[in-house]
Amino acid sequence: MTAPSAAPAVAAEGLSKRYRGGQLAVDDLSLEVPRGSVFGFLGPNGSGKTTTIRMLLGLIAPTGGTAHLLGAAMPGAARRVLPRVGALIEGPALYGFLTGRANLVRFDAADPTADPATRDARIGAALARVGLGAAAEKKARAYSLGMKQRLGLAAALLQPRELLVLDEPTNGLDPQGMRETRALIRELAEEGTTVFLSSHLLDEVEQVCTHTAVMARGRLLAQGPVAELAAGVRGPLAVTTPDTAEAARVLAEHGVTDLAVAGDRVTGELPPGPDGRAAPDGPGAPDGLADLNAALVRAGVRVRSFGVERGTLEDAFVALTGEGFDVAG
């Protein structure tokens, strides 16, 4: 059996959750989060991410399967393991009549492992780290949604954590707040904390995460390093030319779809080959890249650049599911 010190930070096998009435929220999920990673748990709202997190933390019982945190079985090891885990799930539960600082005092006092002698210093450091130092004495009911998210993150950072579980941590944040949160997550990872980040924002996961898992309709579709998932798909064809209208016409005639023109660039999706993938450049490939380029030249299109762009996490998601979801928020 794997030693706890070498075990993944998070592991699930066959994890399922069926609610009363028959709704299957999570279906046979097997997941492995490497220690030291920033792991993006990616999927549209309603795909089963939050339900999975609640099972992993022992907050709700699974219908089937097993879950382990830091090498220990959940929920049996919850008392021993959860003090080493920080979590922000579905937004923080705050006392609106208390200040931000007073809320953190309550959170810290509820932790049996917290040292009261260092409480004030730790609370001050956590508030400063999430950018709430100046708003510490403000009542929580006056906080914006983004400020409440920051305060919840501060609560999760009151103690050093081996694992940080964040459910949509940038919800309600403005662009600057999102950038600051991403920088903080990278900083925590550099300090050795494993970060498990649930999000429906593809660009957020691609910017900050080293590994990812893709969920849709309660099922896990793929998992692995972000770079590998993105590299496994082909991005759109991109043509730079002053003759964009003619280029788009020629490309459409040769099966290129989803054509878009922006300035002097025309982009589109290559036609699929026999295996359903984008047609490769090679002998026997109908309308392959070389054929497309030649067709443009024959039509008098002045081609300044021509090629297939690097695949992105969005391309991988669309390839896996056949659909997209909210990329920017």
User: Tens of pLDDT along 170-210?
Assistant: 887 888 888 888 888 898 899 899 999 998 887 788 888 99
Sequence-ordered list of residues with C-beta below 8 angstroms from that of 189, at least 6 positions apart, any chain: 36, 37, 38, 195, 210
């300044």: which residue's tokens? 304
| Alpha-carbon span 11 to 176, nearest angstrom | 33
User: Residue 96 above 70 pLDDT?
Assistant: yes
**CA 49, CA 35: separation in Å to the nearest integer?**
20
pLDDT of residue 296: 93
**Residue 282: predicted pLDDT:** 37
CA–centroid distance for 249 within its chain: 37
The pairing of beta strand 265-269 with beta strand 257-262: antiparallel
| Separation CA 306–CA 294 (nearest Å) | 11
At residue 13, does pLDDT exceed 90?
yes
> Which range among 112-126, 157-171, 226-240, 245-259 shows the weakest confidence by mean pLDDT?
226-240
Q: What is the pLDDT of residue 34?
A: 94
- pLDDT above 70 as % of the chain: 87
User: In terms of pLDDT, which residue wins out, 126 or 89?
Assistant: 126
- Reading phi first (left if > 0) and then psi (alpha if -120 to 50, else beta), residue 288 is in beta
- Give the model's pLDDT for residue 226: 83
- What pLDDT is attached to residue 146? 85
Query: Tell me, what amino acid is at 228?
Result: E
Supply the mean pLDDT for the chain.
85
CA gyration radius, the chain: 24
Amino acid at 242: P
Please compute the mean of the pLDDT values over residues 92-96 and round it to a whole number. 86
Mean pLDDT, range 280-307, rounded to an integer: 75
Which residues lie closer than 8 Å to 249 by C-beta, 6 or more apart?
299
Lowest-confidence region among 138-147, 251-260, 275-284, 294-303: 275-284
Question: Domains in the chain, ordered, with CATH?
Answer: 4-231 (3.40.50.300), 237-310 (3.30.70.2470)
Binning pLDDT at 50, 70 and 90, where does residue 295 land? Answer: very high
Residue 5 pLDDT = 52
The pLDDT assigned to 321 comes to 65
Query: Any residues with CB less than 8 A from the CB of 161 and at least 6 apart, and which?
Result: 84, 85, 86, 193
Contact indicator for 174, 146 with CB cutoff of 8 Å:
yes
Supply the pLDDT for residue 121: 95
Assign 311 a pLDDT band (cuts: 50, 70, 90): low
145-156 and 119-129 are packed helices; what angle lies between their axes, rounded to 10 degrees? 130
H or E segment and range at residue 293:
helix 289-298
pLDDT of residue 135: 93
| Rounded-to-integer distance, Cα 85 and Cα 252, Å | 53
Spatial neighbors of 218 by CB under 8 A, at least 6 apart, are: 24, 25, 26, 27, 47, 48
For residue 112, pLDDT beyond 90: no
